[in-house]
Amino acid sequence: MSLTTEILYGKPVSLQLRQELKNEISNLSNLGIIPGLAVVLVGEDAASQVYVRSKSRAFKKMACFSETFNLPENTSETELCLLIDELNASSKFHGILVQLPLPAHLDSKKITRRILSRKDVDGFHPLNVGLLLEGQPQFISCTPHGILKLMAYYGIKTNGKHAVIVGRSNIVGKPMFALLAEKMEYGNSTVTICHTGTVDLSRYTSMADILIVASGMPGLITGNMISEGVHIIDVGINRIKDNSEKGYRLVGDVDYESILGIAGSITPVPGGVGPLTITMLLYNTVLAAKNIRP
């Protein structure tokens, strides 16, 4: 008999967290501080433009300040570094985010290091990565942090569970590993991290209690690769061309239809992890603004 797969929507989690943030933002506002974020977008990548617009909308809605700096595709490393130096020095901006991926001629690691670690609301600066690995995080990268909040909201326990992560990116896979392996309430998992070098992926995915998929490969995980009751977090956002008005539809890294009735729960795409990433960016920007309070 097949079970009913629970759909884990991000919106209620996000609303609850934003409610909590509103109090913090109003406390800061009473002190004359408006949390401010600078978003830097280089080039014309369509998906990045959509994400950046959503970030800006969310900040406005929450009475925070954000400004987007659109730079042309052929921006040099020197020009980008000069802008980051200006943003580092500006007291209007508590947080700085350079939207990734950057055009190929720009070194994203070098750019990430240029941002002051106290303004690195993405949590990508080596100092923040190190602090996370030490178990003393300052800024936790937004998507993994949002995933922990989502699991907490829906009562998905991680303690003692086997969490399998598919994807080893610096944005999701690696920080997710650090968080889930940490000895804390929403950690303490046994963690397996799979990637393109993994032989026989389904050998590992079928052993997961919690399966976090951030591979960037649409439909990679199918029903025959999982065990009954597994909780699946689908981080993928892939554009598939179709005949709709937009010309595409969004799908995750999990073949959604084939896991229904087998998985215990799954986050939908869109509407699962996505809304939480932006909420955690707000959270980190508020944290950065609180940190500069005299």
Residue 294 C-beta: closest distance to ligand GUN, Å? 29
Q: What are phi and psi of 106, to 5 degrees?
A: -105, 140
Residue 225 C-beta: closest distance to ligand GUN, Å? 25
Nearest CB to ligand GUN, comparing residues 226 and 280:
280
Give me the residue whose beta carbon is nearest to ligand GUN. Answer: 100
Q: Is 265 in the site for ligand GUN (CB under 6 A)?
A: no
C-beta of residue 265 within 8 angstroms of C-beta of residue 154: yes
Nearest CB to ligand GUN, comparing residues 6 and 44:
44
Residue 237 C-beta: closest distance to ligand GUN, Å? 9
Q: At what angle do helices 11-30 and 274-291 cross, to 10 degrees?
A: 20
Binding mask 72-111 for ligand GUN (x = CB under 6 A): -------------------------xxxx-----------
Nearest CB to ligand GUN, comparing residues 75 and 99:
99
Active-site annotation, residues: 55, 99, 122
Count of residues near ligand GUN by CB under 6 A: 9
E strand or H helix at 40, and its extent?
strand 36-42
Q: Is 234 in the site for ligand GUN (CB under 6 A)?
A: no
CA distance 133 to 127: 10
Residues for the chain: how many in total?
294
Nearest CB to ligand GUN, comparing residues 122 and 182:
122
Q: Name residue 65's beta-bridge partners.
A: 36
CA distance 190 to 162: 5
Nearest CB to ligand GUN, comparing residues 149 and 208:
149
The C-alpha angle with vertex 243 and arms to 48 and 55, in degrees rounded to 5, equals: 20
Q: Is 171 in the site for ligand GUN (CB under 6 A)?
A: yes
CA distance 228 to 186: 22
Q: Is 142 in the site for ligand GUN (CB under 6 A)?
A: yes
The footprint of ligand GUN (CB under 6 A) covers: 97-100, 122, 142-143, 171, 277
